[in-house]
């Protein structure tokens, strides 16, 4: 029998309810597991006897294991290779920042060191974006809510996590129920991550965006737009055919009207495809009535067969200046982190045809 993760909230609540055990013990169990990862269930104090029996027979403190942690020479990026109970692999990436560095509006920044965790929601991906190596894997499986939360559990033992971005392997809104349940666990005791420090990224699954705003109203939303024209989106993101740009934009207007929050726009820079001056103007006009932050992401090559090239720095700077100067849209250029450990956007792929998994990271770093 496959054991369930103790961090699978719906599973443990259902079992406790069936056995007449109060749900209030669950956060205490989670806290104990976080602090004592290798202790047996018997060492958790003051639980009802029925709770001990259930934990021993049906649950594991973690169904996944931390296979390896690889540190980048940049000294701020750590890539976690996590082995799931069924033998598949996913990865999460810790990115460390010091928010005291630099200035904001001409004044020194406040704050201090913080860590952002990039989490996977699926093994593989159905979306098939042809600038992203993850799409070449196809879809393997949805992660359970427990497997999603366990990425935070493993990472928390390495670094104190303040921000979480669902930008690893998979399309989060294609695993909607598990992602929502995992986020609810992450925002509850003992994790207590603020919803405003969690960002869910999507290619633009319209019906799920509407539902997400109702289910998790204070969350940050990031949209992988990547082009201001539907025909270009369909060329580089086949899944965009199901989500026409005009309907997507209307949905985002509705989302913003209800949430009163900025929407993060992810835009990968592909030389000669979507990085020309005309594209900047089209994007600016598309977003001029939004409160948004555009994150320009330098393309990272995914192999010799890729038809795409990286936009040169001058093109990226000009694109950014047009959005800022002409349309007054806040625009950042993604900072590359962890390149020496393949920690760059769009490069994550797991090749299990050999004994060693080749891991390349799909990270889209929002400055939150």
Catalytic site positions: 91, 345
Per-residue H/E/C for the chain: CCCEECCCHHHHHHHHHHHCCCCCHHHHHHHHHHHCCCCCHHHCCCCCHHHHHHHHHHEECCCCEEEEEEECCCCCEEEEEEECCCCCEEEEEEEEEECCCCEECCEECCCCEEEEEECCCEEECCCCCCCCHHHHHCEEEECCHHHHHHHHHHHHCCCCCCEEEECCCCCHHHHHHHHHHHHHHHHCCCCCCCHHHEEEEECCCHHHHHHHHHHCCCCEEEEECCCCCHHHHHHHCHHHHHCCHHHHHHHHHHHHHHHCCCEEEEEEEECCCCCCHHHHHHHHHHHCCCCEEEEEEECCCCCCCCCCCECCHHHHHHHHHHHHHHHCCEEEECCCCCHHHCCCCCCCCCECCCCCCECCCCCCCCCC
CA-to-CA separations, 154 to 24, 81, 92, 93, 365, in angstroms, rounded? 24, 10, 9, 11, 20
Tallying the residues shown for the chain, one arrives at: 368
Q: Is the dihedral of CA 302, 305, 307, 312 positive or negative?
A: positive
Residue 93 and residue 77 in contact, taking contact as beta carbons nearer than 8 Å: yes
CA distance linking residue 142 with residue 87, whole number of Å:
14
Strand partners, 220: 199
**Other beta carbons within 10 Å of 24:** 8
């Amino acid at each position: 029998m496959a054991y369930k993760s103790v961090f699978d909230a719906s599973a443990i609540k259902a079992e406790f309810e069936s056995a007449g055990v109060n749900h209030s013990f669950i956060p205490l169990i989670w806290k104990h597991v976080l602090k004592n990862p290798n202790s047996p269930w018997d060492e958790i104090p003051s639980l009802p006897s029925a709770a001990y029996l259930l934990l021993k027979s049906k649950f594991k403190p973690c169904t996944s294991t931390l296979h390896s942690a690889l540190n980048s020479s940049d000294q701020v990026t750590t890539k976690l290779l996590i082995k799931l109970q069924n033998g598949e692999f996913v990865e999460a990436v810790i990115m460390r920042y010091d928010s005291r560095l630099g200035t904001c509006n001409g004044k020194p920044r406040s704050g201090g060191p913080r860590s952002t965790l990039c989490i996977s929601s699926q093994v593989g991906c159905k979306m098939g974006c042809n600038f992203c190596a993850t799409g070449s894997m196809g879809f393997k499986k949805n992660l359970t809510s427990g497997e999603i939360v366990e990425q935070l559990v493993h990472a928390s033992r390495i670094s104190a996590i303040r921000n979480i971005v669902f930008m690893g392997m998979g399309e989060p809104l294609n695993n909607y129920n598990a992602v929502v349940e995992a986020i609810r666990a992450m925002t509850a005791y003992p994790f207590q991550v603020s919803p405003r420090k969690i960002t869910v990224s999507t290619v633009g699954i319209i019906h799920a965006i509407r539902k997400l705003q109702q289910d998790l109203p204070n969350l940050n939303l990031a949209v992988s737009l990547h082009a201001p024209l539907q025909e270009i989106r369909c060329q580089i993101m086949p899944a965009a055919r199901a989500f026409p740009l005009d309907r997507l934009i209307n949905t985002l207007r509705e989302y913003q009207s209800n949430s009163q929050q900025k929407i993060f726009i992810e835009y990968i820079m592909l030389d000669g495809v979507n990085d020309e001056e005309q594209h900047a103007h089209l994007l600016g006009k598309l977003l001029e009535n939004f409160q948004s932050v555009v994150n320009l992401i330098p393309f990272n090559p995914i192999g010799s067969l890729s038809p795409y090239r990286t936009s040169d720095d001058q093109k990226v700077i000009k694109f950014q200046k047009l959005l800022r100067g002409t349309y007054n849209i806040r625009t950042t250029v993604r900072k590359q982190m962890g390149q020496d450990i393949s920690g760059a956007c769009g490069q994550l792929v797991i090749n299990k045809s050999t004994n060693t998994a080749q891991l390349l990271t799909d990270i889209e770093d929002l400055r939150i």
